[in-house]
Amino acid sequence: MIDEKALRERLYSLSDEKYREFNKSIVRTCKLPYIGVRTPELKRIAKELSPQYAELFALPADSYEELLIKGLAVAMAKAPLGEKLPYIQRYAALIDNWAACDLFCSALKVKKDERDMLSELIDGMLFSDEEYIARVGIVLFFSNFKGESDARRAFAAYERIQPGRYYVDMAIAWGISVYCVYFPALTAEFLETCTLCADIKKKAAQKIRDSRRVDIEIKERATKACR
């Protein structure tokens, strides 16, 4: 059984005031207070508690760090995806910042025979009116589906997702830059012909220019397409 008081005391024992202020300044949108625990420590605690992810999820999350641990424990739990689905959906609905989304998405790994189930889950998130649920869908997809047909499917979805939400727009731009590493010509062609708004295209071009894994010719094509 998880000792809620002991968990909170452990988190406060790991608090770093300078890091707390730094994290607060870059995460910004989380409404919960920040304790100031570094990400490797949060991952370590979440991994320890992952076998008890359901029990952990039932506890209140009174800080940014407790919220992250909930999501990371679910992601890291060695349980079938089917058992974790309700918790993934509930966690996505709790998210109010990019870090809680991105750390969770990077930690969630699925087996080959669970990919269709994950894809169906993502389809239910991509077009959500809720900004961070949509972001979870976008980041989960490009983190787990990296084939050419996946890139085409992602690009088609990006044109249908409601723009004008900063953290959704940034996730789309990020996704385009990820696929550009694997399918540079396809991505450049997409940017040259797509109906995405100018702001998303400019963000995507910037991320592509910043990449060390994309050659100069593709960077130039992307930049020209997004002017």
**Neighbouring residues of 168: CB distance < 8 A, sequence distance ≥ 6:** 131, 134, 135, 138, 161, 162
Nearest to 158 by CA among 127, 189, 118, 186: 127
> How far is 184 from 189, CA to CA, in rounded Å?
9
Q: What is the largest CA-CA distance in the chain?
A: 58
Instruction: Locate 58 and state its tokens.
Output: 């039932």
Distance (Å, rounded) from C-alpha 67 to C-alpha 94?
8
- 198: three-class secondary structure by DSSP: helix
Q: ∠ CA 203-159-30 to the nearest 5 degrees?
A: 55
- All domains in the chain, ordered by first residue: 1-109 (no CATH), 113-227 (1.25.40)
Whole-angstrom distance, CA of residue 74 vs CA of residue 88? 7
Average pLDDT per consecutive 10 residues, the chain (227 residues; last block may be shorter): 94 97 95 97 98 96 97 98 97 97 97 97 97 98 97 98 97 98 97 96 97 96 93
Report which residue type is found at 164.
G
CA distance linking residue 81 with residue 118, whole number of Å = 8
From the CA atom positions of the chain, what is the Rg in Å? Answer: 19
Quote the distance between the C-alpha of residue 196 and its chain's center: 21
Q: Provide the pLDDT for residue 1.
A: 87
166: Cα separation from own chain's centroid:
14
